[in-house]
A and B are shown apart, each in its own frame.
Chain A
Amino acid sequence: QKEVEQNSGPLSVPEGAIASLNCTYSDRGSQSFFWYRQYSGKSPELIMFIYSNGDKEDGRFTAQLNKASQYVSLLIRDSQPSDSATYLCAVRRTNAGKSTFGDGTTLTVKP
């Protein structure tokens, strides 16, 4: 079992819809959770991070964390074609530790 699991996709949604990306992790001691976006041929870009149970909203993005169930999700509202990318989930146990990345979910938003 991988430490951080993501559905590889591709996930396809129509423009304007809500895209839901999920990530599960195995280390119960994980404290910090990050979502990155990576366009093809580019390096990852941090979208947001969360470390408390519940929801965290930033513009069209909402991260949801449930430590008891060991999952973190990213919702993208009003999806745009420019949101088409691979989304990476990263999990870290402590601030001093290294992040473990999932393999990413490829999202395609169709006009």
Chain B
Amino acid sequence: GAVVSQHPSRVICKSGTSVKIECRSLDFQATTMFWYRQFPKKSLMLMATSNEGSKATYEQGVEKDKFLINHASLTLSTLTVTSAHPEDSSFYICSARDDQGRGQPQHFGDGTRLSIL
């Protein structure tokens, strides 16, 4: 089945550090990828839509300068949390939409658990 690799799976770092998370579609092309964050026992919250070769589209209330997204190829999107603070601690999940798959479903990475001390 379709596989999305997300790395790293867990990050623990000091306040003020910038953290980069990678999302790769391993066996399909993904023009569009999505970045979500999820708090414990809460629903998925879409942060931004990442489009290959163009600027990401951010959801209302999400700071684009805080959460930098780069989608440089059809298989890779990165999210950088700049100058992270404890309130940025969360579970970040990427999702890639299969361009060629029937129904163009979204497939999720395993998520990155970010803890800012």
Interface 1/0 per residue, B79-97 and A, CB below 8 Å: 0000000000000010100
- In terms of DSSP, what is the predominant structure of the interface of chain B? strand
**B52 at interface (Cβ–Cβ under 8 A)?**
no
Whether B43 pairs with A103 at a CB distance below 8 angstroms is yes
The number of residue pairs between A and B whose CB atoms lie closer than 8 Å in the complex comes to 42
Whether B44 pairs with A101 at a CB distance below 8 angstroms is yes
Give how many A residues have a beta carbon under 8 Å from the other chain's beta carbons: 20
In the complex, A44 Cα to B111 Cα: how many Å? 9
In the complex, A9 Cα to B100 Cα: how many Å? 35
CB-based closest 8 A-B pairs: A103-B43, A43-B111, A43-B108, A49-B103, A95-B104, A43-B93, A44-B108, A101-B44
5 extra interface residue pairs, beta carbon distance < 8 Å, beyond A42-B110, A44-B44, A103-B43: A43-B6, A43-B110, A45-B108, A46-B107, A46-B108
